[in-house]
Amino acid sequence: MSASREAQAGVVQELTDELGADVVRTSDEQREAYRYDWARDPDAVLPLAVVLPRNVEQVQATMRWATRHGVFVIPRGAGSGLSGGASAQAGSIVLCLERMTAIEVDPATRTARAQAGALNASVKQAAAEHGLWYPPDPSSFQISTIGGNVATNAGGLCCVKYGVTVDYVLGLQVVLADGRLITLGGPRLKDVAGLPLIKLLVGSEGTLGIVTEVLCRLVPKLPEPATLVAIFETLTDAARAVVTTCATSRPSMVELIDNASINAVEDHRAMGLDRAAGAMLLIQSDAAGESRALELAAARAACEEASATEIFETDDPDEGAMFVEARRAVFPALERLGAYMLEDVGAPVPLLPELVGGVADIAAEHDLLIAVVAHAGDGNTHPVIVYDASNEDEKRRAATAFTQIMELALSLGGTITGEHGVGRLKQPLLSRQLGEDVMGLQHAIRKVWDPQGLLNPGAGY
């Protein structure tokens, strides 16, 4: 929406009149609080207003109003996105579902019906109360919402064995751009009636509609895993161990943490990690009986073959959980070192050594600290470019490295984003991955759902 400031204020007032000032927030402070997501996109601007609906009817009213006046809408969950997919835009409102948090578990159908604003952790908790498990576990699971997870098709640590968000969505309630409400799917494990629109929506980054409710598939709780931790002199050695491990078995977790990440975690909160380690590999097996022993033995052999300097195994779930916690602590720890750009590139698993080796070359070329953590078992890496934002030259070098890392991934037949989404920060490279024909199809599909182009403009594809 582009109009004079007065006209804009009048338009916003119309929504306030309908939904009340408790739902439609317009103070500078409130708008500032919803300007950025975790990507801290420097191009984010103050939104016209922040709308905090309490129910689906208010979401519908908001979209009817937006359609009437041509107002851009930035859908938002917890704002924990890492690609700038929820950066506020000029002439936009932020439509944040954080108040819609109801969760209802049905153990009979093994499903959880969660409003979009419910935290991933809350869904897990509600499932656990019935002995059930909601697998998808982005590192952010304690702070990110199910709606946001659906928007990005969030992955996580366990997805190397248990899949990503889309694998656990059986149904969606979606408010269309014009305010109509549609319901897709249901507590049915198999359903091929019509085009699979649920699958199209998961990962669509808020560009096709506002997801207001998610019907999540739950599975029986699994046994506690055993954990193997291996230390390597170099990240490339550790990556080679990953390739060998994953060629023959299917562990429930394969996480890689480099030296810089280990030290950032130790600086932040001493956990007793080996500061001298070039890299640490964290492998878990939740298989039962002899399969578990076989998986761990295969992982150990792979680590030894890749010159691991130390290998530690434990069956104690708490001890294993401590290492997982250390892994999850990497981003918060790195955040304290300065500004950062977080990558999310992926490659076919056998090319993981080339990918992390190439990232090291880019870091050396630009004299930058690029820490690397990776969901290594599915080839998804998170190089984190740390830089001093007050140093213009370093900032420029960081931006160049950010692009070069994506180009590296593409040259290896990989992807510019494995689980965070394109958002706004990765958009410049997307057409190089997909090609113009595919981009054209995507734009045309977007137009079907959102003819006026109101939903999350500039984000995604």
Nearer to a copy of itself, 194 or 272 (CB): 194
CB of 208 to a copy of itself, least distance (A): 8
Our finding on whether 421 is near a copy of itself (CB under 8 A) is yes
Our finding on whether 428 is near a copy of itself (CB under 8 A) is no
Stretch that binds a copy of itself, among 9-17, 120-128, 199-207, 329-337 (CB under 8 A): 199-207
Interaction residues for a copy of itself, span 356-415 (CB under 8 A)? 375, 378-380, 413-415
Our finding on whether 204 is near a copy of itself (CB under 8 A) is yes
CB of 38 to a copy of itself, least distance (A): 16
Nearer to a copy of itself, 14 or 407 (CB): 407
Query: For strand 279-285 and strand 339-342, is the pairing parallel, antiparallel, or unpaired?
Result: unpaired
219, 133 Cβ separation under 8 angstroms: yes
Cα 24 → chain centroid: 27
Interaction residues for a copy of itself, span 268-327 (CB under 8 A)? 287-292
Task: Return the residue of 37, 343, 419, 450 that touches a copy of itself, per CB under 8 A.
Answer: 419
Our finding on whether 417 is near a copy of itself (CB under 8 A) is yes
Our finding on whether 194 is near a copy of itself (CB under 8 A) is yes
Amino acid found at 136: P
| Of residues 139, 123, 38, 116, the one with CA closest to residue 79 | 38
Torsion of CA 184, 190, 191, 192, to 10 degrees: 130
Our finding on whether 461 is near a copy of itself (CB under 8 A) is yes
Tokens 């999310």 belong to residue: 344
Task: Return the residue of 9, 121, 176, 339 that touches a copy of itself, per CB under 8 A.
Answer: 176
Interaction residues for a copy of itself, span 331-350 (CB under 8 A)? 346-350
For the record, the structure tokens of 36 come out as: 């950025």
Our finding on whether 452 is near a copy of itself (CB under 8 A) is no
Task: Return the residue of 7, 21, 102, 182 that touches a copy of itself, per CB under 8 A.
Answer: 182
| Of residues 89, 88, 113, 92, the one with CA closest to residue 101 | 113
Our finding on whether 193 is near a copy of itself (CB under 8 A) is yes
Interaction residues for a copy of itself, span 63-102 (CB under 8 A)? none
Interaction residues for a copy of itself, span 220-249 (CB under 8 A)? 220, 223, 243, 246-249
Residue 423 CB contacts under 8 Å (≥ 6 apart), including other chains: 39, 41, 81, 82, 83, 84, 85, 86, 87, 205, 459, 460
Instruction: Write the DSSP assignment of 401-455 as a string of letters.
Output: HHHHHHHHHHHTT-BS-SSS--TTTSHHHHHHHH-HHHHHHHHHHHHHH-TT--B
Torsion of CA 150, 156, 158, 163, to 10 degrees: 40
Our finding on whether 189 is near a copy of itself (CB under 8 A) is yes
Interaction residues for a copy of itself, span 44-63 (CB under 8 A)? none
- Stated as kind and residue range, the H or E segment containing 66 is helix 56-69
Nearer to a copy of itself, 177 or 370 (CB): 177
Task: Return the residue of 30, 101, 109, 309 that touches a copy of itself, per CB under 8 A.
Answer: 109
Task: Return the residue of 5, 6, 129, 192 that touches a copy of itself, per CB under 8 A.
Answer: 192
Our finding on whether 40 is near a copy of itself (CB under 8 A) is no
Task: Return the residue of 163, 278, 357, 453 that touches a copy of itself, per CB under 8 A.
Answer: 163
| Of residues 45, 48, 62, 42, the one with CA closest to residue 3 | 48
220, 133 Cβ separation under 8 angstroms: yes
